[in-house]
Amino acid sequence: MIFSLLLVIFIILTPFQTAVDQRLNVLGAQTKLLTDDSAFKIILFGDSMTSFLGPSGDEILSNLKTYYPNSKIVIQNYGFGSKNILFAKEVLEKQTDYLGVKYPPLLQTNLDLLIIESFANNPLSEYPLEEGLKIQNRALDEIISKVHEVKPDIKIVFLATIAPSKTHFGEGSVELTPQKREEWVSERITYLKNHIEYANSHNIPLINVYEKSLKDGDGNKDFLNPGDNIHPSIEGIKFISAEVADFLHSNNLIN
């Protein structure tokens, strides 16, 4: 009986521990590479939509390799699930523990380019929408100001990720009525568009994956993970990664 119980626990925990070990191994390797002055160093910063791009953004790196075959480029992913833009401010100066991995304060890393995603998939729903958007803007003000203060030479780029689907959002993971699903998606789109508007009004380079991912005015289901219809699918990851790499190259943001 005890043996059977221990076996069940082992089976349940092994995949989680394996994922944690992989994160630890990748983070350790990436942290070491971020100290390499000969490498161009990129940090992806966002919520779980960013986390899905992988600890070292392998698909982005693969695309970048076609443009820069002789360059050493390293990516470290600071994507944290279920975290909003207010949490993002803390990550700049505090160590972050996520899924058993300790991430050093972002501003203590040695980076050349910071890509900031919208965190729109975790909107500030506890506030009325208009107030939440103002808080989002103030948080972005503080983040940009702090980054420029501590790391004046790094480049900042905004990323607006793939569009959510008004008809399929959360299917397979969240119980939503059609009306509630549309409300949730509308709120997230509003925060996404506010992120886009902030970039445009502050002359911040913007990788607008959101608009390019739309199909007939809605999120493209091909780009959504069939398990939850929220996060990017494999095709979605490939699409985002190609857009990121193409934008960085066409705007001469890697040198």
Residue 255 lies in a domain: no
- 69-123 confidence digits (pLDDT tens): 999 999 999 999 999 999 999 999 999 999 999 999 999 999 999 999 999 999 9
Residue 35: per-residue pLDDT: 62
- 144-173 confidence digits (pLDDT tens): 999 999 999 999 999 999 999 999 999 999
Residue 12: per-residue pLDDT: 38
Is the predicted pLDDT of residue 38 greater than 90, yes or no? no
Mean per-residue pLDDT, 43-60: 98
Residue 244 lies in a domain: yes
Q: What are the structure tokens assigned to 92, written together? A: 């700049």
Instruction: Give me the domain span that covers residue 222.
Output: 2-250
Give CA–CA dist 191/168, Å, rounded: 19
Residue 95 lies in a domain: yes
Residue 120 lies in a domain: yes
Residue with tokens 């008809």: 167
Give CA–CA dist 22/131, Å, rounded: 39
Is the predicted pLDDT of residue 9 greater than 50, yes or no? no
Q: How confident is the model at residue 11 (pLDDT cuts 50, 70, 90)?
A: very low
Residue 221 lies in a domain: yes
Q: Parallel, antiparallel, or unpaired for β 101-103 and 113-117?
A: unpaired
Is the predicted pLDDT of residue 27 greater than 90, yes or no? no
Question: Residue 208: beta bridge partners?
Answer: 160
Tally the domains of the chain.
1
Other CB atoms closer than 10 Å to residue 128's CB: what's the count?
A: 10
Residue 53 lies in a domain: yes
Helix (H, G, I), strand (E, B) or coil at 97: strand
Residue 140 lies in a domain: yes
Helix (H, G, I), strand (E, B) or coil at 155: strand
Helix (H, G, I), strand (E, B) or coil at 206: strand
- Sheet with strand 40-46: strands edge to edge: 73-79, 40-46, 113-117, 155-160, 206-208
The CATH number covering residue 209 comes to 3.40.50.1110
Helix (H, G, I), strand (E, B) or coil at 98: strand
